[in-house]
Amino acid sequence: MIGVGKMKLYSNVLDRPLSKGKQEVSLSAFAFLFSEMVQYNQTQVDNIAELERRLEDAGYAVGARVLELLCHREKGNRRETRLLGILSFVHSTVWKVLFGKVADSLEKGTEHEDEYMISEKELLVNRFISIPKDMGTFNCGAFVAGIVRGVLDNAGFPAVVTAHFVPVEGQQRPRTTILIKFAEEVLRREARLG
Amino acid sequence: MPPVAPRSGDAIFASVERVNAELFTLTYGAIVRQLLTDLEEVEEVNKQLDQMGYNIGIRLIDEFLAKSNVARCVDFKETAEVIAKVGLKMFLGVTATVTNWDTEGTTCSLVLEDNPLVDFVELPDNCQGLYYCNILSGVIRGALEMVSMKTEVTWIRDMLRGDDAFEMQVKLLKQVPEEYPYKDDE
């Protein structure tokens, strides 16, 4: 049809064609939006743990949708069943789509079998955020931890995901590590699959 | 030093750092969902989105003025054009068209064909009164207030409610001359 506007009226949002995912907005638009989100949540809670939890919950919703979108668009609806598969999906594909680059590193925890860490020198969401001293170890990366938890949970790999600052020698700003601790059942299943 | 020419919206957008629009869209969706869960009343959510937009707008205008080098706008018509072509392009990567000027030149409509905030969004039946993009109206109101224009921004057409485009009506209420902060004779 000639002259049809970009967003045609479909009766059902699911009938609309899926975009290629190449559209962009400015980083500052996202940074402003994220800062408003953190500020709004600060008014709704009394303590830092609650604030982190709310940011994580917001991220969880984003993660669930990102998984569906990417599985359909990038992987042709193939489902990951192995632990390393889903971890590398998060570390490469999800990070590349959301933040424009693959995550800096993916490591297996040395102390516990069920722990994995994705590290990033500077998380995109933390670029314009400074934490006052009285907020201690609060990390807005909780939002990203929520995204990772959303992706893993909806892919069938329940886990507890948290974000931590790790001071690095020679660098003024600490590195951020997303710590993923998988549930028992995931490890048992992984062992069974051999 | 000769005045620097204003840069076009495309040029600025190409020079700023950009992120994937989907991250932006999904984050905004998460915010709206949080608000709906906390506040429950659709009217309250509309107001809160507008307030959040206002907070963003009063800071965004600084970045806009710094990056775009536009000269002071002569009249409101120019202001509206600048918002539609440079401002929206610079931040959201989309442009709007300015239409429906009234006879005095104080009210106009900004029409958006493409809106990155509403990708993948559908309004459920119990939220029909929600102005999903109300944050945009707050941003424009806040930004203009910082350059001495008091405005009122309302939504005329909303694609999530079945219309064919997004149309915002921007009405200039009054120009507030800038107050000199110090008294000269003190």
In this complex, the residue of A19, A37, A124 whose CB is nearest that of residue B31 is A37
Domain extent listing, chain A? 27-193
Report residue A193's pLDDT band, with 50, 70 and 90 as the boundaries.
Answer: confident
The residues that bridge with A178 in the sheet, in sequence order, are: A118, A163
- Which residues in chain B are closer than 8 Å to A40, comparing Cβ atoms? 31, 34-35, 48, 52
- Res A4 pLDDT > 50: no
Q: To 5 degrees, how large is the angle CA B35–CA A16–CA B131?
A: 30
A6 pLDDT higher than 50: no
Return left, alpha or beta for B154; rule: phi > 0 is left, psi -120 to 50 is alpha, else beta. beta
- Partners of A37 on chain B (C-beta within 8 Å) are 27, 30-31, 34
Q: Which of B93, B94, B24, B36 is nearest to A66 (CA)?
A: B24
Nearest Cα of chain A lies from the Cα of B105 at a distance, in angstroms, of: 28
pLDDT at A2: 41
For residue range A90-116, list pLDDT tens digits in order: 889 899 888 888 888 898 988 888 899
Q: How far is CA A137 from the centre of its chain?
A: 19
For B117-134, the pLDDT digits (tens) are 888 888 888 888 889 999
List the CATH code of the domain at A27-193: 3.30.1380.20
Nearest to A34 by CA among B10, B140, B19: B19
Residue B105 DSSP symbol: S
Q: B167: which strand partners?
A: B111, B157
State whether A27 and B17 contact (CB < 8 Å): yes
Supply the mean pLDDT for chain B: 86
pTM: 0.88
* Closest approach of A110 to chain B, Cα-based (Å): 32
Predicted local confidence at residue A138, as pLDDT: 83
Quick one: three-class SS letters along chain A? Answer: CCCCCCCCCCCCHHHCCCCCCCCEEEHHHHHHHHHHHHHHHHHHCCCHHHHHHHHHHHHHHHHHHHHHHHHHHCCCCCCCCCHHHHHHHHHHHHHHHHHCCCCCEEEECCCCCCEEEEEECCCHHHCCCCCCHHHCCCCCCHHHHHHHHHHHHHCCCCEEEEEEEECCCCCCCCEEEEEEEECHHHHHHHHHHC
CB atoms within 10 A of CB A103: 21
What pLDDT, in 10s, does the model give residues A143-153? 999 999 999 99
Single-letter residue type at A171: Q
pLDDT for res B27: 93
Q: Which residues from chain B sit within 8 angstroms of residue A36, using beta carbons? A: 31, 52, 55-56
Q: From chain A, pick out residues whose CB is under 8 angstroms from the CB of B162.
A: 9
With a cut of 70, which residues of chain B have pLDDT below it?
Answer: 1-6, 183-186
Q: Which of A13, A23, A62 sits opposite B93 (nearest CB)?
A: A23
3-class secondary-structure state, position B181:
coil
Residue partners of B120: CB distance under 8 A and separation at least 6? A13, A65, A69, B25, B26, B29
pLDDT at A122: 85
How many helical (H) and strand (E) elements, i.e. helices and strands, does chain B have?
A: 6, 5
Nearest to B80 by CA among B99, B64, B58, B93: B99
| Beta carbons within 10 angstroms of residue A191's beta carbon | 9
Query: B169 in helix, strand or coil?
Result: strand
Q: Token digits for B144?
A: 């203009």
Q: Which residues contact B168 (CB under 8 A, 6 or more apart)?
A: B109, B110, B112, B136, B137, B140, B153, B154, B155, B156
**A175-182 vs B96-99, strand pairing mode:** unpaired
Q: What was the pLDDT predicted at A9?
A: 55
Residue of A nearest to B60 (CA): A32
- Looking at this predicted complex, what is its ipTM? 0.88
pLDDT of residue A57: 92
Do residues B53 and B151 touch, judged by C-beta distance below 8 A?
no
DSSP B87: I
Average predicted confidence (pLDDT) for chain A: 85
For residue B27, give how far its alpha carbon lies from the nearest alpha carbon of chain A (Å). Answer: 7
Q: Is the dihedral of CA B114, B120, B121, B122 positive or negative?
A: positive
A179: which strand partners?
A117, A162
- Bridge partners (DSSP) of residue A181 are A115, A160
H/E stretch holding B19 reads strand B18-20
Structure-block tokens of residue A113 = 């079998």
- Per-residue pLDDT band for A11 (boundaries 50, 70, 90) equals low
Residue A169 has pLDDT above 70, yes or no: yes
Query: B184 CA to chain A: closest CA distance, Å?
Result: 37
